[in-house]
Amino acid sequence: MGTVADDPQFAHASPVEGTVDVGPVIDLSLAGKGNYVAKRGALIELLWFVIEACVINNKLLPISAVRVALLRLFGAKIGEGCRFVHPLRVKAPWNLEVGDKCWFGVDVWIYNQALIRIGSNVCISQGTFLTAGSHDMSDTMDLHVAPIVIEDGVWITSKCVVQMGVTIGRSAVVTPLSVVHRSLDAEGVYGGNPCRFIRKRFMSVA
């Protein structure tokens, strides 16, 4: 008795039931670094990988000063009065600039293949992912990077994603679980996927 694979009408069926295998598939082995340029050698990157895993992302170390000191040692520019009490991840501290009096929540992930610049009095809540890089989905899957700028007074609430090349304007708020794929104007409240304007943050004073 023949199997489904022997039937001509299923000759192009994919392993997933109900789908058809058509169109191109990108060979991931050919993907390149695109416009990404490493700013440190492999040894420094390896050393930081170990320190990030053992100290920066360690839930048993609720001491902000230690994280700040190590980030600065590896090239981060961090202002005064910042709170790094909770575990977080920073891919490349040499690509990080933070102003004064900023707060970082639990499990913030700063994936900064390019510069991420954060102003003063910024709150980035738990589980937020800032990514300064992505891949070319339409051709080669090459890596492409672009800076992220978060201006003074911004609040990015829990579990948001901020994508490469975005600027978030002064005192804007991004509501939980939002995806910021384009730049946002100052003093707005934004939410959703894709992120959209909801209202102004501050009421006008008569």
What residue ranges do the domains of the chain occupy? 39-185
pLDDT at 11 over 70: no
Segment among 5-14, 24-33, 66-75, 178-187 with least mean pLDDT: 5-14
Phi, psi of 52, deg, nearest 5: -60, -45
Query: Rounded mean pLDDT of 46-52?
Result: 98
Token couple for 45: 């990157």
Residue 73 host element (H or E): helix 64-73
pLDDT cut 90: percent of the chain above it = 83
Segment among 3-17, 128-142, 150-164 with least mean pLDDT: 3-17
Q: Name which residue leads in pLDDT, 76 or 4.
A: 76
pLDDT at 7 over 50: no
Using the 8-state DSSP alphabet, how is residue 46 labeled?
H
Cα–Cα distance for residue pair 175/192, rounded to 1 Å? 8
pTM of the entire predicted model: 0.86
Superfamily of segment(s) 39-185? Hexapeptide repeat proteins (2.160.10.10)
Each residue of 121-145: b (16+ CB within 10 Å) or e? Answer: bbbbbebbbbbbbbeeeeeebebbb
Band of pLDDT at residue 18, cut at 50, 70 and 90: low
pLDDT at 20 over 90: no
Query: Rounded mean pLDDT of 129-135?
Result: 96
Q: How far is CA 24 from the centre of its chain?
A: 29
In this prediction, residue 17 carries a pLDDT of 63
Band of pLDDT at residue 15, cut at 50, 70 and 90: low
Contact yes or no for 195/181 (Cβ under 8 A): yes
